[in-house]
Chains A and B, each alone.
Chain A
Amino acid sequence: MNRLAARFAALKKEGRTAFVPFITAGDPDMETSFAILEKLPSCGADIIELGMPFTDPMADGPAVQASSVRALKSGATMAKVFKMVEKFRKIDKTTPIVMMGYYNPIHAHGTARFAKDVAAAGVDGLIVVDLPIEEDEVLRLPAKAQGVDVIRFVTPTTDDARLKRIVADASGFLYYVSVAGVTGTKSVPEDEVRAALARVRAVTDLPCAVGFGIRTPEQAAAIAALADGVVVGSAIVSLVAANLNGGKDKVIAEVLGLTRTLAGSTHAARHGKVPA
């Protein structure tokens, strides 16, 4: 059992929903983002979504775009991101890390080599925004051979026929994109999420995390009552931008503070079953 499966199994036993914060590796610089990363588990992160910066993040809204720009400006590279995960693994052997990014940097690295390198660094899953099921085999198979899950998306535009194809080769967990749009721009529609999760659970036993449009403790709690995982990204990386002038310690404190708050409300919400 890999770290992702183990974590979801443990959470299920406890009747808890996973809190999944997103940060971009290297935002605002490698050192500060590592300082954030290493403290995320103690602030309530059950799984960490670590963004690989890309010059053209076309599925992301302004907040995540800006975090990518900051990371690249500060000199973030693929090699440094791998090192960061390696360093984290020396101090934390259980918190799963899922790397999120776009396909071109992976393609440039070579998919087989990438799968090996992320596995060696201690990554547990990959979320590749622009690699739909029609194209993901080239990464999914080598990743699987290394014990790394390629996480598939379900969205408001996914119909039942496509949903079946998505879950057929899915592993790790499913990522439900709660709104049609880019990250951090619209608010999560609770009723639609409830209906969508019922559809997903009718066809798979895989855990399903929900992301896009969750910013506040109230939204996190509402979604936590429905889903197996709550992902928050834009609200967190926005705090990096907002506190840059206050210095690195301030950035770290603010990001971790919000993580604690959101994790708290996620964990307080009872992990209810979706009503039939």
Chain B
Amino acid sequence: MNQIPNSLRAGPDASGHFGAYGGRFVAETLMPLVLSLEQAYEAAKKDPAFHEELSGLLTHYVGRESPLYFAERLTAHLGGPKIYLKREDLNHTGAHKINNCLGQILLARRMGKTRIIAETGAGQHGVATATVAARFGLPCTIYMGDVDMERQKPNVFRMRLLGAEVKGVSSGSRTLKDATNEALRDWVANVHDTFYIIGSVVGPHPYPAMVRDFQTVIGNETRAQMIDREQRLPDLIVACVGGGSNAAGMFHPFVDDAGVEIHGVEAAGDGVDTPRHAATISKGSPGVLHGARSYLLQDSDGQIIEAHSISAGLDYPGVGPEHSWFKDIGRVKYYAVTDKEALDAFMLLSKLEGIIPALEPAHAIAHVCKVARQMNKDQIIAVCLSGRGDKDIFSVAEKLGEKL
């Protein structure tokens, strides 16, 4: 059915499809805007001034490049392959999200948009959006589910400090999915002046490709750093997948390297065989939500099933369309890690390396703990440590039965 092209990096096609996935499933009111965004992005891609400005901000504002750190004690503890961590947690605002937000806000300015909106789950994308909105002096509204506002209080306060308006969303599961619905409603009502900074590789074309492109700096740096340190490519690349933006950026420069195995790690919540999980690719089926065709958690009637994960950033019943395509063609293997396994990895990395990871990449670390045992000492794993865990200390404390 799907012809596999010579390069897996060429997608999507002109209408925004990765194989059978992607596309532009939005209300007619939004279509002209989505099409003009695509034009603006294509023009920006070809404009050296755009890249120069973005690259300057990534260097001087975000603090790139981020280190590729050899996790010596974790490696010794697991007794197998060398494990490197791509330290996106050291970026300004504490996660990879800022890479994409800077790209999009530069685009918003080029398009003459004067107001920014965004959805957020864990609050990392909300904080990054509020940050770039402050940096460029644009008013900004962030939609966040009530449940997420409760479990990510520090980030809510951070966004407000940065001058953003945080609007709680009380519909549905009151998490990321519902915040996205509400952001889309705002967008359709304010198309004339508003730019919607989507935080992951989801949404209508061109968002999945554009967000991936802005995040590809992660994989590009990792590749160069790895060659510099080890004079070769890693054997395995690992990243967590909610919507899948850090994974998309980490994977993209490696997908044509047949010798590099790639694993995406989803949130299994209580377990993939329980009703409470967020393992969209592992347990879902193709459908259409939030502008694109992709794997979804849904019932037989096409109603969306609410996702569950300890990590607010992975608590989403959809996934980027390119990941769905990678799953189908077998280029990336997707696994799922439970809340408990992620918590254990969260503690392990904190104690062994002095790095408190966000709960999202703690899922990737947990997966590494499993696969490292089946690999040997000559091999190398590169993991995207997509964010730091300060924001998660309240949820972790609660799980551990401690009161802060």
**A65 CB-CB contact with B under 8 Å:** yes
Interface of A is mostly: loop
Q: Which residue of A lies closest to B16 (CB)?
A: A134
Q: A55-B304, A58-B181, A130-B27 are in contact. Are A180 and B287 (CB under 8 A)?
A: no
Is B189's CB under 8 angstroms from A134's CB?
Answer: no
- Among B72-80, B147-155, B295-303, B349-357, the one that faces the other chain is B295-303
B397 lies within 8 A of chain A by Cβ = no
Instruction: Tell me whether B32 is interfacial, beta carbon within 8 Å.
Output: yes
Q: How far is the CA of A162 from the CA of B34 in the complex (A)?
A: 13
A134 touches B184 (CB 8 A): no
If A59-B185, A104-B289, A180-B188 touch, whether A157 touches B171 (CB-CB below 8 Å) is: no
The answer to whether B192 touches A180 (Cβ under 8 A) is yes
| Residue of chain B at shortest CB distance from A129 | B27
- A261 at the B interface (CB under 8 A): no
Interface check A135, CB cutoff 8 A: yes
- Whether the Cβ atoms of B288 and A130 lie closer than 8 Å is yes
Q: Which chain A residue lies CB-closest to B180?
A: A58
Task: Decide: A162 and B32 in contact? CB cutoff 8 A.
Answer: yes
- Binding stretch for chain A, among B1-9, B18-26, B95-103: B18-26
Minimum CB–CB distance for B397 against chain A, Å: 32
**Distance, CA A133 to CA B172, complexed state (A):** 29
* Residue contact B185 to A103, C-beta cutoff 8 Å: no
B67 in the interface (beta carbon within 8 A):
no
Contact between B177 and A56, CB atoms less than 8 A apart: yes
A-B contacts, 23 listed (Cβ < 8 Å)? A56-B177, A56-B181, A56-B289, A56-B290, A58-B180, A65-B171, A77-B301, A104-B288, A104-B304, A106-B302, A107-B293, A130-B26, A130-B288, A131-B25, A132-B27, A132-B31, A133-B31, A135-B24, A153-B29, A157-B29, A158-B28, A162-B31, A182-B189
Q: Is the CB of B287 within 8 A of A107?
A: yes
Considering the chains assembled together, what is the distance between the CA atoms of A181 and B286 in angstroms?
28
- Please state if A134 and B31 are interface contacts (CB–CB under 8 Å): yes
Q: Does B191 touch A at the CB level, under 8 Å?
A: yes
In the assembly, what is the distance between CA of A107 and CA of B172, in Å?
21
Shortest C-beta distance, A46 to chain B (Å), equals: 24
- How many A-B pairs with Cβ below 8 Å? 118
Interface residue? B274 (CB, 8 A): no
Chain A residue numbers with a CB within 8 Å of B374 are none
Partner of A104, one of B178, B192, B296: B296
Residues 49-86 of chain A, each 1 if its beta carbon lies under 8 Å from chain B, else 0:
00000111111010001000100100001100000000
Q: In the docked arrangement, what's the CA distance between A108 and B295, Å?
A: 12
The range of chain A's interface size is 35 or more
- Cβ of A145 to closest chain B Cβ, rounded Å: 22
CB distance from B1 to the nearest CB of A (A): 15
Contact assessment for B189 and A186 in the assembled complex, using a CB-CB cutoff below 8 Å: yes
Tell me the residues in window 67-97 of chain B with beta carbons closer than 8 Å to chain A beta carbons.
Answer: none
Flag if A103 contacts B181 (CB, 8 Å): no
Q: Is the CB of B29 within 8 A of A177?
A: yes
CA gap between A145 and B271 in the complex, in Å: 45
Contact, CB under 8 Å: B32 / A159:
yes
The 8 A CB mask of A20-46 against B (1 = contact, 0 = none) is 000000000000000000000000000
Nearest A residue to B182, CB-CB: A58
